[in-house]
Amino acid sequence: MKFASEFRDPALAKGLLAEIARLADQIGATAEKPVHIMEICGGHTHSIFRYGLDKLIHPGIEFIHGPGCPVCVLPRARVDECIEIAGRPEVIFCTFGDAMRVPGSKLSLMQAKAAGADIRMVYSPLDALELARRNPGREVVFFGLGFETTTPSTALAIQQAAREGLANFSVFCNHITVPEPIRALLDDPYMRLDGFIGPGHVSMVIGIHPYDFIAEDYGKPLVVAGFEPTDLLQSVLMVLRQISQGRAAIENQYARVVPEHGNRVSLAAIADVYERRPSFEWRGLGEIDASGLRIRAAYRAHDAEEKFGVGYAGQRAAVEEAEGCACGAVMTGRMKPVACAQFGKGCTPEMPLGALMVSSEGACAAYWQYGGARAAE
């Protein structure tokens, strides 16, 4: 398969693994004192387990799973607010399928749909825009969810709605940014991180320079990586080379996709439609300054928070995690999924306790999908 099989070449992978082992030995990495490398993106976590890289790599390299799954980092209160909006009789609530089974404090969106709410899965905010055109008597709300990867498409949909005067189209904005939670993790004195594998799809939009502070302020290397097995192995090797040379820099392994300065058209759309929130709540990390986006006043007619008085525009209720759920600890790298007492017992893909078991980028889902019952044991 062109542009895929080349990055799954066993001979190339063996060579990279051998060079990683050589460097790991050189810097004294062992299973007892490993080099801790955080893969920020949940897509990378799934690739690591899909291809068994955690088993093939030198025992002195430990992957730490980061908060790079937008569905997973969403606190339960935001799911409750989605259900509150969707429960209004005039509303058609649209969402990506990934969010349908994420539990709120009482229901998931899937359960709310079964109870009668008009909730529809869509593939793009443009699908929701089309529903607004076809249903002028209904309020169509799109669940704007994701990191910088999905933010531009929502921004473009809002711009189009404004041009067409579609007052019945709005977005419940939960778009968040990657760099700020990484700073929060680095400021945590209990976190032991030696380097990072940076998210490829996010960086396709924002470029590589928003991560400069990681090297400049904290002295840690970060390598933006692709998603194939040799992409990840090469990225680990690049991190180890920096460590062995006593330097810290932001490097781009995924240069075939990620431009240094990002996508200027996407960045312009984001800047036009959104502004930074003072803070935003993250599961497991709490409120993080300037880590979320909200819709600018110029597009307020399409802001579901303002229209329905929910979320940060209304009275927000504190919602605790479900009893026994360790999603926050897993997502911030403090715990492996199999260390959670509920993994594979009180929390399975069929009956999830937390978001990490149902999201396509969740660490618990990766362990379960590629390890299954063996992982639970």
Give yes or no for a contact between 230 and 268, defined as CB atoms under 8 angstroms apart. Answer: no
Which residues, 6+ apart, have CB-to-CB distance to 130 below 8 Å?
none
**Which of 37, 115, 41, 111 minimizes the C-alpha distance to 71?**
41
At 26-80, the pLDDT tens digits run: 999 999 999 999 999 999 999 999 999 999 999 999 999 999 888 888 888 999 9
CA distance 59 to 365: 23
- 3-class SS at 126? helix
> Does the structure show a pLDDT above 60 at 376?
no
Kindly indicate the confidence band of residue 369, based on its pLDDT and cuts at 50, 70 and 90.
confident
Give yes or no for a contact between 278 and 289, defined as CB atoms under 8 angstroms apart. Answer: yes
CA distance 236 to 163: 46
Kindly indicate the confidence band of residue 190, based on its pLDDT and cuts at 50, 70 and 90.
confident
69 known ligand binder = yes
> Does the structure show a pLDDT above 70 at 132?
yes
> Does the structure show a pLDDT above 90 at 119?
yes
More confident residue, 317 or 276: 276
Kindly indicate the confidence band of residue 324, based on its pLDDT and cuts at 50, 70 and 90.
confident
325 known ligand binder = no
**Which of 196, 203, 190 minimizes the C-alpha distance to 223?**
196
Mean pLDDT of 82-103: 95
Kindly indicate the confidence band of residue 2, based on its pLDDT and cuts at 50, 70 and 90.
low
CA distance 339 to 257: 36
Mean pLDDT of 341-367: 86
Residue-range domains of the chain with CATH = 1-318 (3.40.50.11750), 324-369 (no CATH)
**Burial class for 87, CB neighbours closer than 10 Å (0-12, 13-18, 19+):** middle
Strands 139-146 and 91-95: parallel
> Does the structure show a pLDDT above 90 at 319?
no
Structure-token pair, residue 272: 């036009």
Mean pLDDT of 120-132: 97
41 known ligand binder = yes
Backbone angles phi, psi at 46, to 5 degrees: -65, -40
More confident residue, 132 or 9: 132
**Which of 294, 310, 274, 273 minimizes the C-alpha distance to 162?**
273
Q: Which residues pair with 13 in a beta bridge?
A: none
Average pLDDT score over the chain? 92
Place of tokens 């007052």: 167
Give yes or no for a contact between 245 and 215, defined as CB atoms under 8 angstroms apart. Answer: no
The pLDDT of residue 377: 54
